[in-house]
Amino acid sequence: MLVAAGFIFLYAPTDALQGPVQRIFYLHVSSAIAAYGCFAVVLLGGVVYLWKENIAADRLARAAALVGVVFTTVTLVMGMIWAKPIWGTFWTWDARLTSTLVLWIIYAGYLMVRRLAEPGRQAARFAAVVGIFGFIDVPVVHFSVTWWRTQHPGPVVINDTLPAEMLVAFLITMACTLFLAGVMIAIRYRIEVLMDQAAEKTVPAPIVAPSEARGAR
């Protein structure tokens, strides 16, 4: 990420119209793509879990959902900071902004299901269903700028409209962000494994009648 920061602030040219605030672009778009990637992992993990009842797939989905929500938050906050000077407001009810907010809410709901459902098979199944349904919103977010007339600009990277230096800085930022997302998922996966093991080891406290407990003391 430091390398990416170097490219963003030192290498990439300053935007002629928007000035330095345009540098938000690199991280804003990269973290959006990283979030899509995380939610795709949630989808795949959910499908594999429902199909094969594979606990590793469920843990991977759990880890990716959390990281995905983090990156969606980064995208939204960065976007708002960028929107204030350029659009004059933090928020407009534009199709892409709205659908991204909905995406955030859906996966926050996913994390809530994980907490509230009975741990184990039930939580894994319910969460997998939510993760699969929730993924419907990802293409909606992605194509919202082409389907509706939005204030949010359309894709600039794949349309070849970026100057070469900006493209280099963007690609490096994206690679670093995706790598960071991968590392975060791996760390979270490890935490999920440890938490599962801890839950297995915790023996329920023996039920002792109040009178016996007093006698023992």
CB of 80 to another protein, least distance (A): 20
Closer Cβ to another protein, 64 or 103, answer by number:
103
The tokens describing 47, both together, are 């499908």
Closer Cβ to another protein, 18 or 151, answer by number:
151
19 phi/psi in degrees, rounded to 5: 75, -160
The single-letter DSSP state of residue 150 is: -
Closest CA to 79 of 17, 30, 143, 7: 30
| Contact footprint for another protein (CB under 8 A) | 50, 102, 105-106, 108-109, 112-113, 116-118, 122, 125-126, 128-130, 132-134, 136-137
43-48: long-range contacts at Cβ-Cβ below 8 A with a sequence spacing of 24 or more?
43/131, 43/132, 43/135, 45/128, 45/131, 46/127, 46/128, 46/129, 46/131, 46/132, 47/128, 47/132
CB of 45 to another protein, least distance (A): 14
Within 10 A of 50 (CB to CB), how many other CB atoms are there?
A: 17
CB of 110 to another protein, least distance (A): 9
Closer Cβ to another protein, 77 or 108, answer by number:
108
95 contacts 146 by C-beta, under 8 angstroms: no
Closer Cβ to another protein, 116 or 203, answer by number:
116
CB of 68 to another protein, least distance (A): 15
Q: How many residues does the chain have?
A: 217
Closer Cβ to another protein, 86 or 112, answer by number:
112
CB of 67 to another protein, least distance (A): 20
